[in-house]
Amino acid sequence: MLDKYIRFIISRPGATVLAIVLITIAFGTGLPKLRFDNSLDSMMPSKDPEYLRNEEVKKIYGNNGKFIIMDVAPDRLWSGARLLEFESLIGDIEEYRDFDGTREAERRRAFLSVTEHAPVGRDELLARFENDPAYRRLLSRKITGLFGEEHSLDRSRISTLARELERSATVRSERLVDRILSPFTMKDLSGRNDTLSAFDLVERGEDGRRQVPTSGKSIAELRSRLSANPAFAKGIFYRDPASGEISDFGVLVRLLDVRDYDGITSEMQEIARSHPDLHITIQGIPVLYHQINSYMQHDLRLFMPLVMLVMVLIFFLNFRSLLGVALPFITLVLADIWVLGLMGHLGGKLTVIGISLPPLMIAVGSSYSIHILNRFALDTQLIRSRGPVQGIRISMNTIAVTLILASLTTMIGFATLVTNQVSAIREWGLYSAIGTLFAVLIAASLIPALCICLPGAVQGLGREGKSSGKAPVDVITAFMAHLATIHTRAVMIVVAGILVLSGIGIGFLKTETSISAYFHDDDTINVSARLIGERFGGSLGLNILLDSGRTDGVKDPGFLQTVEEVRNWLLSDGNAAFQIGRTDSFTDVIKRMNMAMNNDDPAAYAIPASATDIADYLEIYSGDDLNSDGRADDFEPYVDHEFRTVNLFARMYEKEGAPLSTSRLNEIIASIRAGLSPMLHERGYRLAISGEPLIITRLAKHVVRGQLMSLFLSLAVVGLVVSLLFKNWKAGLVSLIPIGVAVTMNFGLMGWAGIRLDIATAIIASITIGIGVDNTIHFLNTFRHFRSAGSDLDEAIRATLSTAGRAIIYTALALILGFAVLVVSSFKPIIFFALLVGVTFIATTTGALLILPAVIKYTGVDLAESTSDSRFWKYFYIGRLFNIENQNTIEGGSQ
Amino acid sequence: MRSYSIAILTMLALAASPLYALDGRQIMEKSDALAQPKSVRAAVLMLVEKGGRVEEKEFELVGKKYGNDEKALLSFSRPTSIRLLTHTYKGRDDDQWLGLSSGKVKRIALADSDKPFVNSHFYYEDLKSRDIDDYGYTLIGDAGAGGVDCYKVEAAARSKKLVYDKAVFYIDKTNFFVMRIDIYMRGGLHKYLENHDIRKVNGILTPFRAVMHSADGRGKTELRIKSVTYNVPIADSQFSKEALR
């Protein structure tokens, strides 16, 4: 079967190359469709009960965890100029809430009328929108973003600008901004002098525009209005504790529940940057996701050239020829295009671990290329004597089994991740398995085909005259053979020691799925998260659901008093460890109305004693209910439409720098449950908790469970496949020793070094097994050949290491260095991932070159093909399909 | 919370006293000229259907004209006992007071006419008396509504200050009674009102059932007149602030 395929490739090299080019083009068209997605939603198992509950909660209360929050802290906040600038900021954000298609069409026409005669001056274009200040500012920031301070817009720039404006209009037309909470957009109540009035904090004039306070009197009035409502503090303003003055404004942009916030977040960040005088710090879960996406794109741009460079160096070191660099290089680039293009076509998304796919494919692809080219290099004389077609056919037949077995086991290692509940890991497993198949297909087809097409190509790979004396690689393999055969017992003792130490380290292993843990502590994202937390209570929202047990139970003063007790308990000094910076609740509205009904007496900022009063307040509260669900829109985040359950929305942050790690979140949620449930139960109420923090902790559980599942599954499947391939159960067991040691070392090291098991590091075990077993198979295949040729144990070990060792070391080098470039990543998990992959590959390589031969020598295990002709082997000896026996003969012959 | 006297009329007889004088302006003027009561006393059931639940509210309505001015008292008996007293004046702002169930009375100076009235699908804007000149009218065709042939008249807002961008009236060709109004806000159909069970009471056309539907079909508010009498004597003391306590 294999020979037929190889004959086909070699007899039609031109058609093979053409077919690969056409397939590459087909897959390549999928690349632009590739999208990034790092939301927890994209990772969570869709059937997880907590996830489903959270989705239900989102249906009832809206996606109140998805908001962008801005801290606006300019110098001289209370000057007219700054307040006017703040008005511009709010106006800019409102464009994303109040998109008007007709007005946008007019703007488009106006833009086209000015720009039809290029070049156009920036000022000339902006002047056209003198009466449309929000659009004028939008244009200005887009021009600055695209062309800096350039003043002249030629035709090409105008086209670029028009495209950007269209993109922005698309984002605005989605109207993702649900509500804007700020000192300029909020309303309040007053009940002074027995007169009840509802008013905008900043009133609007006859023309419908806000009357921005600029005079001393109007500014003082705004300050007074802000101070009058206790719920506004740390909500829409922050008071500097030193001066006692309002020093910052808060702007909370609540977004509708959608999957992709990238576009809107990018626009909000751009708006924040365009008001430098306001000193804006921007935060929120969408900002975190957006930042991850930006970093990922940055990382990809950075990684790829670096990985390529590393590969070029390794290829050159190995082959010392242009073709020896070019052929594998083309192979691995194509492998990347195929797998990423396929992802694009199938709607797959690049997640935070997904970005390791391109370097992984490069590393895997390079290892197959190195195996093939090394074989060609070894067979230079054969190819010369038999002619390129026949010679390459024999040479390919020789290496084919190693390639197939290596890629098959690698694919199995990756594919076992599809059993993982975490979708990001599952998809990674699927695409990396497919990518491995692509890589081996391309390497095994393109390289021989090109070598036939390019006369003299193989001769260039020959080693004659290229090395003087023993290469360092040969020294290493000889040393390993010496240790394995002469100091066998010592090697076994050291391995046992390492296993014991690793076992202890595993006991310290912790899981981490918190998003903030993706970033360095001093990353702007974490710094701004702490600042926003201190001033406005944080951006990680916990829904604490208090169920009154009956319809309209929320209107009962006793229940609302309990809600207040719960709030106070959550924010009490004794519970500072909960790291809750602020709570928002339905009771704020009731308390404020009660205060207004009592002539704005601050003492009346409390839950009224009478249920009738509460019912009256709700009856006269004239809030919009645009979705007709029975609640004023203002109430939606905080009460269900049956007025049975209150959602106490608690915002968390890394108080005093204490990280909100997964384990910490687990402890906090457990403490809240333990602290509240008995008291609520006693009063006939019930507690439920949902929200992003809970999802993070659930995700961690899935990561661990999935990790264990795929670990055992991949070990079992790999052991089974090797047994069936070699027709020897002991071979299967032996093959697991080096990778088992490496995996144990990996987790042990993580435990000792405090590196947490997260989404990225969770896949290391599978990579270790999938790729690490290649070396084992390469070793076993060659070792058995020498044993069957009559060598004694020590001779076979030495011969195997000197033959297979070279390819094993070079492929390991390619993999280690390929992944090593990931240490420049902006994400901590990816950095640890790269370091651990390096360590485990060193371990698996050492495992194959030292531990495996030492175990074989120590145990004296017989790895020869079973002579049994039982029915089982008749049906399940899959090595037959790959002509192992035949290939062994050829391999022997070609050497 | 303005102009509750007209709220009364809206609820009882949004069509009996068509709030909009339109046309083809002539059509609307004819509609506007239909007989109006000097006073009214009515018991009204309000059914607010939202989120799959129907909430029942009940109130009594008492209203009286004083020349060009009007006074009205709206007394809820369900779900709470709030009362709203409104004095509407021609040419100046209305006065309005709120009486809570507890007996506490507050003067009201709320200004948002684009907000729901007692959490229903009626806005305060729907309850206001209006100037026919606020809108420009165009006869855009004929259409059926409530089982009768109607003129279809579009009323376009002349000022951006008005809550609604436009309204389309369906006016009975035989008696110029408003059968339906499509109400547009922010460029789109926002809600529509349908009048049903139209009877003549004391010579005044009165819809005994008026339903305001939200355009997205997610909810509606129905007003059912349980009893109504027009032009009955009503003591002035009923419209004093003290009457709220």
pLDDT digits (tens, 9 = 90+) for A162-215: 999 999 999 999 999 988 999 999 988 888 888 878 788 998 887 778 999 999
The verdict on residue A619 lying in a domain is yes
Evaluate the CA torsion angle A519, A522, A526, A528 in order and state its sign: negative
> Would the CB atoms of A616 and B110 count as touching at under 8 Å?
no
Q: Of chain B residues 4-43, which have a CB less than 8 A from chain A?
A: none
Closest-CA residue of chain A to B114 = A624
* Domain CATH number, residue B38: 2.50.20.10
The verdict on residue A515 lying in a domain is no
> Would the CB atoms of A195 and B108 count as touching at under 8 Å?
yes
From CA B212, how far away is CA A596, in angstroms rounded?
Answer: 31
The verdict on residue A518 lying in a domain is no
Chain A CB within 8 Å of residue B92 CB: no
Q: Model confidence over A277-336: pLDDT tens digits?
A: 999 999 998 898 888 878 877 877 777 788 778 878 878 877 777 888 888 888 888 998
**Shared domain check, A333 and A482:** yes
Angle at A224 between CA A220 and CA A230, to 5 degrees: 155
> Would the CB atoms of A194 and B98 count as touching at under 8 Å?
no
From CA A766, how far away is CA A263, in angstroms rounded?
Answer: 35
**Shared domain check, A675 and A706:** no
The verdict on residue A529 lying in a domain is no
Percent over 70 (pLDDT), chain B: 87
**Shared domain check, A312 and A236:** no
Last residue of a domain, one of A120, A139, A173: A173
The verdict on residue A536 lying in a domain is no
Which residue among A198, A207, A625 places its CB closest to the CB of B110? A198
From the CA of B119, how many Å to the nearest CA of chain A? 7
Chain A CB within 8 Å of residue B77 CB: no
From the CA of B79, how many Å to the nearest CA of chain A? 8
What is the domain count for chain B? 1
Label the pairing between strands B204-214 and A195-200.
unpaired
**Residues on chain A touching B115 (C-beta within 8 angstroms):** 622-624
Task: List the one residue out of B54, B114, B57, B66 whose CA is nearest residue B84.
Answer: B57
How high is the pLDDT of residue A586? 93
Last residue of a domain, one of A173, A196, A215: A173
Judge whether residue A379 has pLDDT over 80. Answer: yes
Which residue among A194, A207, A619 places its CB closest to the CB of B118? A619
Residue B168 is part of which domain span?
A: 4-244
The verdict on residue A519 lying in a domain is no
What is the domain count for chain A? 4
Q: Is the Cβ–Cβ distance between A213 and A87 less than 8 Å? A: no
Q: A122 vs A132, A142, A267, A507, A544, CA distance in Å?
A: 16, 11, 21, 64, 51
Which neighbouring-strand residues pair with A688? A545
The verdict on residue A513 lying in a domain is no
Cβ-based neighbour number of residue A49 at 10 Å: 9
* Domain CATH number, residue A703: 1.20.1640.10
Judge whether residue A883 has pLDDT over 70. Answer: no
> Would the CB atoms of A194 and B216 count as touching at under 8 Å?
no
Run of H or E residues at A13: helix A13-28
DSSP string, A314-343: HHHHHH-SHHHHHHHHHHHHHHHHHHHHHH
Higher pLDDT, A399 or A174: A174
Q: How confident is the model at residue A882 (pLDDT cuts 50, 70, 90)?
A: low
Judge whether residue B31 has pLDDT over 90. Answer: no
How high is the pLDDT of residue A327? 85
Chain A CB within 8 Å of residue B103 CB: no
Read off the pLDDT of each residue in B22-29 and give the average, rounded to a whole number.
Answer: 77
Which residue among A612, A619, A631 places its CB closest to the CB of B102? A612
How high is the pLDDT of residue B8? 46
From CA B209, how far away is CA A581, in angstroms rounded?
Answer: 51
Judge whether residue B7 has pLDDT over 50. Answer: no
Residue A224 is part of which domain span?
A: 64-94+175-283
Task: List the one residue out of A863, A780, A894 whose CA is nearest residue A402.
Answer: A780
Read off the pLDDT of each residue in B148-170 and give the average, rounded to a whole number.
Answer: 89
- For residue A181, give the amino acid letter: L
How high is the pLDDT of residue B111? 54
Chain A CB within 8 Å of residue B115 CB: yes
HEC letters along A824-875: HCCCHHHHHHHHHHHHHHHHHHHHHHHHHHHHHHHHCCCCCCCCCCCHHHHH
**Shared domain check, A729 and A717:** yes
How high is the pLDDT of residue A727? 84
Q: Is the Cβ–Cβ distance between A83 and A219 less than 8 Å? A: yes
Which residue among B1, B104, B160 places its CB closest to the CB of A597? B104
Beta-strand ranges (E) seen in A64-172 are 67-72, 120-121, 152-153
From the CA of B70, how many Å to the nearest CA of chain A? 21
DSSP string, A623-689: ---TT-SSS-GGGTTTB-TTS-EEEEEEEE--GGG----HHHHHHHHHHHHHHHHHHHHHTT-EEEE
For residue B177, the SS3 value is coil
Q: How confident is the model at residue A872 (pLDDT cuts 50, 70, 90)?
A: confident
The verdict on residue A730 lying in a domain is yes
**Shared domain check, A306 and A247:** no
Query: Looking up tokens 């990018």, which residue turns up?
Result: A266
Task: List the one residue out of A663, A651, A660, A667 whose CA is nearest residue A517.
Answer: A660
CA atoms within 13 A on the CB side of A237: 27
Q: How confident is the model at residue A700 (pLDDT cuts 50, 70, 90)?
A: confident
How high is the pLDDT of residue A403? 83
**Shared domain check, A889 and A760:** yes
**Shared domain check, A378 and A325:** yes
Both tokens of A491, joined, read 């090697």
Both tokens of A699, joined, read 């995700």
Task: List the one residue out of A378, A458, A443, A455 whose CA is nearest residue A406.
Answer: A443
From CA A728, how far away is CA A737, in angstroms rounded?
Answer: 15
Chain A CB within 8 Å of residue B110 CB: yes
Task: List the one residue out of A756, A581, A560, A760 whose CA is nearest residue A658.
Answer: A581
**Shared domain check, A182 and A159:** no
How high is the pLDDT of residue B112? 65
From CA A94, how far away is CA A101, in angstroms rounded?
Answer: 14
**Residues on chain B touching A627 (C-beta within 8 angstroms):** 216, 218
Q: Model confidence over A77-115: pLDDT tens digits?
A: 999 999 999 999 999 999 999 998 889 999 999 999 999
Task: List the one residue out of A892, A857, A862, A887 whose CA is nearest residue A727.
Answer: A862
**Shared domain check, A569 and A603:** yes
**Shared domain check, A708 and A645:** no
For residue A701, the SS3 value is helix
Both tokens of A821, joined, read 């470039």
Chain A CB within 8 Å of residue B76 CB: yes
**Shared domain check, A164 and A84:** no
Angle at A202 between CA A196 and CA A204, to 5 degrees: 90
From CA B88, how far away is CA A182, in angstroms rounded?
Answer: 35
Which neighbouring-strand residues pair with A121? A152
Q: Phi then psi for A670, rounded to 5 degrees?
A: -65, -40
B79 preceded by cis ω (within 30°)? yes
**Shared domain check, A429 and A303:** yes
- For residue A787, give the amino acid letter: R
How high is the pLDDT of residue A546? 97
Chain A CB within 8 Å of residue B118 CB: yes
Task: List the one residue out of A49, A241, A64 whose CA is nearest residue A634.
Answer: A64
Q: Which of A625, A641, A642 to mutate to test the interface with B (most CBs of B within 10 A)?
A: A625
Window from A212-216, B106-110, B203-207 with minimum mean pLDDT: B106-110
Both tokens of A741, joined, read 């040691």
Q: How confident is the model at residue A126 (pLDDT cuts 50, 70, 90)?
A: very high
Closest-CA residue of chain A to B80 = A616
Closest-CA residue of chain A to B82 = A616
Q: A474 vs A368, A739, A796, A799, CA distance in Å?
A: 20, 23, 16, 11
Percent over 70 (pLDDT), chain A: 96
Question: CB-based burial of residue A440 (10 Å sphere; 0-12 exposed, 13-18 middle, 19+ buried)?
Answer: buried
Read off the pLDDT of each residue in A528-538 and give the average, rounded to a whole number.
Answer: 89
